[in-house]
């Protein structure tokens, strides 16, 4: 338990449900490692109560908060100002109160890119195969384009959603995105391949499933999965067996939190501490969903 004083500043996470969130243990460990007089608390907030929660947090002087399902889209409409990342993805996962004004940011995509950078994986000018076209794919796609990715090939079960995401990303940078059918996506794994799974396929309890059957990954290829339960999905296991570099879903989770913490406190986030706590929590809950 962190020590709480009259001076302690408050951060938090809102969600519905929020009880599965990994952020409280991860952020409180980070705040303790930095020696900061802050506490990070979970708040169960129903969708209809979101405007009241935002006003209550503002009135009570919270420094900021994270948002998870189902609030990320609605929050964008409620904040006073939003970063480019939040506007482009249409979501807010981090709010920072600055002089009473609520600034909305989205650290999911930047966190994903930061996770790649921390692992020494270059994004600039690189061709990417993006599996999925939901909210996570949108956040990651927007940030990859901002990071100067080469060509983005999107494959999704529902083709119309892939078309929609490609149109959005092409609006950000003309010609960057194209769509390929999921059935033939394995053929799109070319030289210098960077394959990113943003779908939930492979997640507990359906761990015997993979979003595509990898046949080959060229030397120097990297396969990334945002699923973190299990840490090594069927897709990542296959990629490892084929000799590819693999990055699991823990990295995005750690780095989206680290970027939020940096925004709120101005401190360099202790990424190693955050990863260690997250891995310990994941191990405790392994298989539990
Ligand atoms: P998130 O916010 O986590 O991205 P989402 O917006 O619901 O969640 O998106 C889930 C993604 O996983 C989508 O790309 C979805 O494909 P559809 O657009 O066809 O729904 C994909 N997905 C989920 N279950 C799937 C399955 N069994 N097979 C293939 N794709 C699946």
Q: What is the pLDDT of residues 8-29, one digit of tens each?
A: 999 999 999 999 999 999 999 9
* Digit-coded pLDDT (tens) for 177-215: 999 999 888 887 776 689 999 999 999 999 999 999 998
Centre of ligand 1 from the C-alpha of residue 59, in Å: 37
Reported pTM = 0.96
Asked whether residue 42 carries a pLDDT value surpassing 60, the answer given is yes
DSSP label at residue 249: T
Nearest to 260 by CA among 274, 276, 278: 274
Strand partners, 95: 65, 104
Whether the Cβ atoms of residue 129 and residue 195 lie closer than 8 Å to each other: yes
User: Which of 89, 90, 157 has most ligand 1 atoms within 8 Å of CB, for mutation?
Assistant: 157
Annotated catalytic residue, options 15, 21, 72, 214 = 72
Cα-to-centroid distance, 205 and ligand 1 (Å): 15
The string of pLDDT tens digits covering residues 212-262 is 999 888 778 999 999 999 999 999 999 999 999 999 999 999 999 999 999
142, 85 contact by CB (below 8 A): yes
Residue 139 Cα to ligand 1 middle (Å): 14
Indicate the top mutation candidate among 130, 134, 155 to test ligand 1's pocket, ranked by most ligand atoms within 8 A of CB: 134
Q: Residues enclosing ligand 1, CB less than 6 A?
A: 132-137, 156-158, 161, 198-201
Give the 3-state secondary structure of residue 12: strand
284 is catalytic: no
Q: Which atom of ligand 1 is nearest to the CA of 138?
A: 4
Distance of CA 211 from the midpoint of ligand 1 (Å): 10
Q: Is the dihedral of CA 257, 258, 263, 265 positive or negative?
A: positive
Please measure the distance between the N-terminal and C-terminal CA atoms of the chain and give it in whole angstroms.
25
Distance separating alpha carbons of residues 233 and 26, to the nearest angstrom: 23
Instruction: In whole angstroms, give the CA distance from residue 125 to residue 32.
Output: 39
3-class secondary-structure state, position 217? coil
DSSP secondary structure of 82-148: E-HHHHHHT--SEEEEETTEEEEE--HHHHHHHHHHHTT---BT--EEEE--SHHHHHHHHHHHHTT
């Amino acid at each position: 338990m962190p020590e709480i004083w009259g001076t302690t500043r408050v951060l938090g996470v809102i969600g519905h449900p929020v009880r599965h969130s990994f952020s409280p243990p991860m952020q409180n460990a980070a705040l303790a490692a930095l020696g900061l007089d802050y506490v990070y608390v979970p708040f169960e907030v129903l969708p209809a109560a979101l405007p009241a929660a935002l006003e209550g947090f503002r009135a009570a002087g919270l420094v900021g908060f994270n948002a998870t399902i189902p609030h990320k889209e609605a929050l964008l409409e409620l904040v006073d100002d939003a970063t480019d990342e939040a506007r482009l993805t249409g979501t807010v996962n981090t709010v920072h109160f600055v002089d009473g004004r609520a600034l909305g940011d989205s650290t999911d995509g930047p966190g994903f890119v930061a996770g790649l950078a921390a692992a020494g994986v270059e994004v600039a000018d690189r061709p990417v195969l993006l599996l999925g076209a939901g909210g996570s794919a949108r956040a990651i796609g927007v940030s990859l384009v901002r990071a100067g990715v080469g060509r983005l090939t999107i494959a999704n079960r529902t083709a119309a959603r892939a078309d929609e995401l490609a149109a959005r990303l092409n609006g950000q940078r003309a010609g960057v995105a194209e769509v390929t059918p999921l059935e033939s996506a394995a053929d799109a794994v070319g030289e210098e391949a960077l394959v990113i799974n943003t779908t939930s396929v492979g997640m507990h309890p359906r761990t015997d499933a993979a979003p595509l059957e990898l046949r080959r990954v060229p030397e120097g290829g990297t396969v990334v999965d945002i699923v973190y339960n299990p840490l090594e999905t069927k897709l990542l296991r296959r990629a490892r067996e084929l000799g590819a570099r693999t990055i699991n879903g823990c990295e995005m989770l750690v780095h989206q939190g680290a970027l939020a913490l940096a925004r709120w406190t101005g401190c360099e986030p202790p990424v190693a501490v955050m990863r260690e706590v997250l891995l310990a929590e994941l191990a405790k809950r392994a298989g539990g969903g």
